[in-house]
């Protein structure tokens, strides 16, 4: 994702610069419609999509237009279908490369200040609820720093579960379940995972 954001900005194509610094792949970004929400208007990876080549579970390939994906906050139809992205055709506008890099650097600096950087994580773990920050809710539940095995609720941003060095998938799942149960008990709020387990 970062390489694509950097190269499109370098060549003066606007639309993906706010994804600078995001780990992961373009296909993964499309699956969850990754975005930039810190300053309105929100910018999503699905916004500039024109068409996408997919491979289904049975091995068939086909090309689908943007409308097929029903892009929304943290959502695309790929979450349901399990199809794999082979390539994407983006419609990007020409813009000043320096301005694009400035936007990308702003996004990267913001992420470095507000998210755990340099430690493995899956990114934001739970979806925000009706405009309320899942991280803030988890923090208010007193769970920052809570640890099971090698998995920890980040002390920087409570909606990140980080690997302190030896976490197993079981550690992460147990911790996520504890977070959900604690938030449900304290506030009556049901947290939904943003991440997808394979």
The set of catalytic residues is 124, 194
Rounded to the nearest 10 degrees, what angle do helices 97-114 and 2-10 cross at? 150
- CB neighbourhood size of 156 (10 A): 16
CA-to-CA dists, residue 142 to 121, 171, 186, angstroms: 20, 19, 10
Distance CA 168, CA 146 (A): 16
Distance of alpha carbon 167 from alpha carbon 122, whole angstroms: 12
Write out the H or E segment, with its range, that includes residue 13. Answer: strand 13-14
């Amino acid at each position: 994702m970062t390489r694509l954001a950097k190269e499109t900005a370098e060549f003066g194509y606007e639309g993906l610069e706010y994804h600078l610094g995001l780990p992961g792949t373009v296909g993964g970004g499309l699956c969850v419609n990754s975005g930039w929400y810190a300053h309105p208007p929100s910018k999503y990876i699905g916004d500039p999509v024109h068409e996408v080549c997919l491979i289904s579970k049975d091995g068939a390939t086909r090309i689908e237009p943007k409308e097929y994906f029903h892009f929304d906050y943290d959502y695309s139809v790929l979450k349901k279908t399990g199809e794999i992205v082979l390539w994407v055709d983006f419609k990007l506008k020409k813009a000043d490369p320096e301005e694009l890099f400035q936007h990308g650097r702003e996004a990267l600096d913001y992420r470095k200040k507000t998210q755990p950087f340099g430690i493995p994580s899956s990114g934001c773990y739970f979806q925000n609820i009706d405009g309320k920050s899942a991280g803030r809710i988890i923090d208010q539940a007193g769970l920052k720093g809570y640890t099971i095995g090698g998995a920890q609720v980040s002390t920087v941003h409570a909606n990140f579960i980080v690997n302190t060095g030896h976490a197993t998938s079981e550690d992460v799942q147990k911790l996520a379940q504890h977070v959900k149960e604690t938030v449900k008990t304290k506030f009556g709020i049901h947290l939904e995972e943003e991440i997808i387990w394979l």
